[in-house]
Amino acid sequence: MVSGGNASSLPLVGGSAEPTIRELSRPGRRASKYPKLDVPEVDLNHPAIKNEKAPLPEVSEHDLVMHYSRLAHRNFAVDLGFYPLGSCTMKYNPRFADYVASISNFSNTHPATPAEFTQGSLKILNILESYLVEITGMDHASFQPPAGASGELTGLLIIKKYLEQQKLEHKVDIIVPDSAHGTNPASAKMAGFNVVEVATDERGMVNIEDLRSLVNENTAGLMLTNPNTGGLFEEEILTISNIIHDAGGLLYYDGANLNAIVGVCRPGDMGFDIVHSNLHKTFATPHGGGGPGSGPVAVKDFLREYLPGPIVTKDNEKYDWYKPKFSIGRMHGYHGNFLVALRALVYMKLLGKEGLDTLGAYAVLNARYLSSKVSKYLPLAYDEPCMHEFVATVKDLKKSHKIKAYDVGKALLDKGFHSPTIYFPLIVEEALMFEPTETQTVETLDDLAESIKLIVEELSAPGVNLADYPKNLPVGRPNELIPAKHLTVHWGDFELLELTE
């Protein structure tokens, strides 16, 4: 193998555990120093003040730096290797965006600063809005939602408010495919809707007949991602949108899979009324170990006044905040994850027309290539051309050798790759979902396919103990029962457990 992921993702030294910062603490040590008080000191008598000091760790700055650097060494990352993680779009995060996000005028501005002193920040949001609506085929956007799930909830609250304004409060059903991301039904429930599940047909797409049978006067809308979570383009999308619109419902586009279609086609042209984008997926902002993201919501013109606000307006080169007339309210304390939005704009400007026009195409190209290679060793869930991701299944190996999707994922870790997404979508048995993104080389894709081949051979060999995988990492498979049963969620909890048992 030549792609190098294996070498760089293993820890530098040995396998011993890293102590916690509390275990490194010694009384009297400190990293911080503050200036001497330069105003006259007075006695502070206030009922809210305590006498004792906060029980924080006491460490030297060198100890602090070594500790967190060593922990960083125990972590896989996009900068170290390949994440073929379906639905997550773990592409390269341009370093240049780090620089722009660190410009003091952007990063050190208080969110309550009046618009007259923050014209630059407002301009960033205004330009980014123009890019987003062009890419998605919508008209206006709000940057308040700090993540995709918040964007979903925003979209659903917009649907709700819009229907209320139209005196259509009886419309309470949101239709969600059985293959949808878990956030879809969770968000619909939070917005106060009934969740109605539509089935997937044998080709892997929305079952149109089932959809027709579920749609009625109570239909408020449909949540859909296209391509869907099986990585397939919903070829009947125009029929689907007609069915929903004819019933007076709205179409919500879950932007989790937007990377597949940037420059290829647009949700707005498919009939969607509301779109959220995951800037931390499609537009290459770093995922931060689980966040921050940003989930701006874009809408067609007729929904502009429902957006969460304030939103940015532009008048004669002057930018200002505007609160939409029927706004659903606020989804964030201030303006959403502004610095994430800024990074996304940096990425779009670096890509420009030529890069954005071909973004989806290259993402699909890599997925199609990887699926062709992987399908030689594992059957694919659907016999259809994939978009930016595809689903393979381990169900045959499970029958013949008791090998589960989970085991293949764990064995891949040993080879220097992140696991693909496993057991998703829920409708595919023993699913492994691969999304290579456009930033991986042919060699890396070949290496991954080769690793799958080796793993299938290795795990099928007689006498293999599947639970031993992964073997070459700082820790092996964790015991997940202990923390769930004993709530060992704070340092000291586990020691206490050991003392009592």
Partner 1 sequence: MFVPHSNIDLNIIFEELKISSLDDLFAHIPDELLINNGLDVEDSLSELEATDYFEDIASLNTSSLTCFAGGGHYDVYLPPTVKSLTMRPEFMTSYTPYQAEISQGILQVLFEFQSLVCDLTEMELANASLYDGATSIAEAISVAINKTKRDNIVISSGFNPNSKQVINTLIDSKKFNLQYVELENYLFPEDYQFTDEDAAFVVSFPHYEGSAQDLTELVKKAQDMGIITVCYVDPSMLGVLKTPGSMGFDIVVAEGQSIGTPLSFGGPTVGWFATKKDLARLVPGRIIGETIDNNHKKTYVMTLRAREQDIRREKASSNICTNQTLNAIGSAIHLSWMGPEGIYQVGYQAIQKATYMKNEFKKSGFNLKNDESSLREFLVETKVPVSNVLTYMGSNGFLAGIKYSDNELLVAVTEKRTKKEIDDYLKLFTEVNNG
Q: Could you tell me how many residues make up the chain? A: 501
Nearer to partner 1, 399 or 402 (CB): 402
Question: Can you tell me which residue has the tokens 């949108």?
Answer: 241
The tokens for 413 are 């870790």
| Minimum gap (Å) between residue 3 Cβ and partner 1 | 11
Residue (of 298, 423, 388, 351) closest to 84 by Cα position:
388
Dihedral angle of Cα 120, 123, 125, 128, to the nearest 10 degrees? -120
Nearer to partner 1, 146 or 221 (CB): 146
Q: Which DSSP helix (H) or strand (E) runs through 318?
A: strand 318-322
Nearer to partner 1, 186 or 456 (CB): 186
Nearer to partner 1, 47 or 400 (CB): 47
The contacts of residue 23 (CB under 8 Å, 6+ apart) are none
Rounded to whole angstroms, how far apart are CA atoms 104 and 106? 5
| Minimum gap (Å) between residue 248 Cβ and partner 1 | 21
Nearer to partner 1, 179 or 393 (CB): 179
Rounded to whole angstroms, how far apart are CA atoms 84 and 453? 16
Helix axes 119-136 and 338-374, enclosed angle (nearest 10):
30
| Minimum gap (Å) between residue 224 Cβ and partner 1 | 14
What letter would DSSP give residue 345?
H
Residue (of 259, 272, 441) closest to 356 by Cα position:
259
| Minimum gap (Å) between residue 373 Cβ and partner 1 | 7
Burial class, 347, CB count within 10 angstroms (exposed 0-12 / middle 13-18 / buried 19+):
buried
| Minimum gap (Å) between residue 405 Cβ and partner 1 | 13
Rounded to whole angstroms, how far apart are CA atoms 432 and 409? 8
| Minimum gap (Å) between residue 299 Cβ and partner 1 | 16
Q: How far is CA 166 from CA 153, 170, 201, 346, in A?
A: 20, 11, 34, 40
Nearer to partner 1, 9 or 207 (CB): 9
Q: Give the number of other Cβ atoms within 10 Å of residue 499's Cβ.
A: 7
Q: For residues 162 and 306, is the Cβ–Cβ distance under 8 A?
A: yes
| Minimum gap (Å) between residue 264 Cβ and partner 1 | 6
Q: For residues 380 and 392, is the Cβ–Cβ distance under 8 A?
A: yes
Nearer to partner 1, 114 or 400 (CB): 114
Residue (of 404, 397, 252, 279) closest to 339 by Cα position:
279
| Minimum gap (Å) between residue 212 Cβ and partner 1 | 20
What letter would DSSP give residue 308?
S
Nearer to partner 1, 168 or 365 (CB): 365
Nearer to partner 1, 329 or 396 (CB): 329
| Minimum gap (Å) between residue 275 Cβ and partner 1 | 15
Q: For residues 181 and 159, is the Cβ–Cβ distance under 8 A?
A: no
Rounded to whole angstroms, how far apart are CA atoms 321 and 319? 7
Nearer to partner 1, 28 or 400 (CB): 28
| Minimum gap (Å) between residue 205 Cβ and partner 1 | 11
Q: Give the number of other Cβ atoms within 10 Å of residue 84's Cβ.
A: 28
| Minimum gap (Å) between residue 461 Cβ and partner 1 | 20
Question: Can you tell me which residue has the tokens 């991701």?
Answer: 389
Nearer to partner 1, 396 or 496 (CB): 496
